[in-house]
Amino acid sequence: MKIGYILNTYPAPSHSFIRREIRALERRGVAVQRFAMRSHDGDLPDAGDREEQDKTGYVLSQGAAALIWAVFLTGLHAPLAIWRALGLALQAARGSEAGYLKHLVYFLESAWVARRVIETNTDRLHAHFGTNAATVAMLVAEMTGKPFSFTVHGPEEFDKPAAIALPLKIRRADFVVAISSFGRSQLCRLVDYRLWPRIKVVHCGIEPQNFDEPRPLPAARPVSLVTIGRFSEQKGQLLLIEAMAEVQRRGVDARLVLVGDGDLRRPLERAIAQEGLGHRVTLTGWQDEAGVRRALDKAHALVLPSFAEGLPMVVMEALVSARPVIATWVAGIPELMQDQRTGWLVPPGDALALAEAITELAATPDEKLRRMGTTGRARVLMRHNVDVEAAKLAALFTQRPRTQPV
């Protein structure tokens, strides 16, 4: 079986879970064609991402003439289908914040991908994220007659489902994947209950072979914390700086390393300076997978103060590294963690609660932290093995596709 994966920007440092899923499918003998609208415009520190870049066909880099020519060729091959796809693009544009012009661009992108799908005898299509990649997958399916599916991660898709025509895409898809039970519940809200069986849960997963025996907790104190991810409003790093300032006022000695980068780097640097935390807080920039593991190995715990989430891979990676986690009680995180058993869950947006959890962690004996880490590691290995989850996805790919949208 050959699957066409349709993605927006790929690969990207924050999307390593897609690469892991693709490689797990390939280990099962599933051939995967990678189609991305654009390449990542920054550095790719991970060698695995650079390898994926070489395997990916980029649509927009083909140029406008090639995309228009693809519309012509696809129209010759299936004249009725190309008009149906255009109508579907305009239907998706109604009420969309992207507007009609962008949906015409999606239509052009889809024609180029459709030509490649036909030329390579691709059997079906799968997109990640319910935004423009799922739109392109839906239009390619209309042009080629191939079934399509897509994975919804959240939280952005849940914030504005009508603006991205998410209900329409769910109705027309062969199946839809949510990465957590919470995510599935949000998708079920958008469509008639008769479509709920079409919405499946397939978790993101880790590669256990990359996490052999975990390194012991750092022997030395003060307590060392790490947070990993894109610097953005939804990840809550600015709130974490507030919490660290409160921890400092309480006389608790704690250190924090922020791994990642993004639009909020400058505001974070200003907040660190204003709170007098320059000697306690370090920013490293993006790291490759080995660098992330080293950062976790050097830490007593991970902190993830997110305001909104899907099912964060970094929590899985911390738990499988036998590190306790302080995280917020949002989205799929409580499905990953158990409060007081694998770490601490706190309300989102509450800097004092976050500071209290850090204070409690700093006072927790190493033996209890080790027990938390062992419990979390066992939980992730049991529930989030990427090869097990890829087997579930492969089984969905091999099922007989539906013939008509509902």
Average pLDDT across the chain, whole number: 96
Q: At 341, is the secondary structure helix, strand, or coil?
A: coil
CB 396 within 8 A of CB 149: yes
Which residue blocks in 120-188 are alpha helix, DSSP H? 132-144, 156-159, 166-172, 181-188
10 Å CB burial of residue 97 (0-12, 13-18, 19+) is exposed
36 φ/ψ angles, rounded to the nearest 5 degrees: -125, 145
Per-residue confidence band for 402, with pLDDT thresholds at 50, 70 and 90:
confident
Q: What is the pTM of this model?
A: 0.92
* pLDDT digit string, tens, across residues 358-386: 999 999 999 999 999 999 999 999 999 99
State percent of the chain over pLDDT 70: 99
CB 175 within 8 A of CB 199: yes
Q: Is the pLDDT of residue 155 over 60?
A: yes
CATH number assigned to the domain with residue range 209-383, chosen from the 4 options 1.10.3720.10, 3.40.640.10, 3.20.20.70, 3.40.50.2000: 3.40.50.2000
Strand partners, 206: 385
Helix or strand (DSSP H, E) at 35 = strand 31-38
Rounded to 5°, angle at Cα 320 from 239 and 49? 80
In DSSP notation, 337-382 reads --BTTTEEEE-TT-HHHHHHHHHHHHHS-HHHHHHHHHHHHHHHHH
Q: Average of pLDDT values for 338-359?
A: 98
Q: Is the pLDDT of residue 403 over 70?
A: no
If one counts every other C-beta atom within 10 angstroms of the C-beta of residue 63, the result is 9
* pLDDT digit string, tens, across residues 255-268: 999 999 999 999 99
Specify the pLDDT at position 52. 97
Q: At 226, is the secondary structure helix, strand, or coil?
A: strand
- Please state, in angstroms and rounded to a whole number, the distance separating the CA atoms of residues 301 and 83: 55
Pairing state between β 254-259 and 301-304: unpaired
Q: Average of pLDDT values for 224-244?
A: 97
* pLDDT digit string, tens, across residues 287-318: 988 899 999 999 999 999 999 999 999 999 99
CA distances from 242 to 122, 253, 268, 276 (A): 51, 15, 10, 11
Strand partners, 150: 127, 176
Tokens matching residue 102: 């962008």
* Same CATH fold assignment for domains 2-205+386-398 and 209-383: yes
Q: Average of pLDDT values for 126-154?
A: 97
Q: Is the pLDDT of residue 405 over 60?
A: no
Distance, C-alpha 195 to centroid of its chain: 24
Q: Average of pLDDT values for 280-293?
A: 93
Q: Is the pLDDT of residue 136 over 90?
A: yes
Specify the pLDDT at position 404. 53
Rounded to 5°, angle at Cα 227 from 225 and 233? 140
Q: Assess whether the previous peptide bond of 11 is cis (omega < 30° from 0).
A: yes
* pLDDT digit string, tens, across residues 214-229: 999 999 899 999 999 9
Per-residue confidence band for 122, with pLDDT thresholds at 50, 70 and 90:
very high
Per-residue confidence band for 400, with pLDDT thresholds at 50, 70 and 90:
confident
Tokens matching residue 221: 């104190």
The domain segmentation of the chain, as residue ranges, is 2-205+386-398, 209-383
- Please state, in angstroms and rounded to a whole number, the distance separating the CA atoms of residues 41 and 391: 32
The 8-class DSSP code of residue 32 comes to: E
Residue appearing with tokens 């190309």: 82
Specify the pLDDT at position 406. 52
Q: Average of pLDDT values for 152-165?
A: 94
Per-residue confidence band for 140, with pLDDT thresholds at 50, 70 and 90:
very high
Q: Average of pLDDT values for 344-369?
A: 97
Per-residue confidence band for 14, with pLDDT thresholds at 50, 70 and 90:
confident
Domain 2-205+386-398 CATH assignment equals 3.40.50.2000: yes
Specify the pLDDT at position 212. 83
Specify the pLDDT at position 364. 97
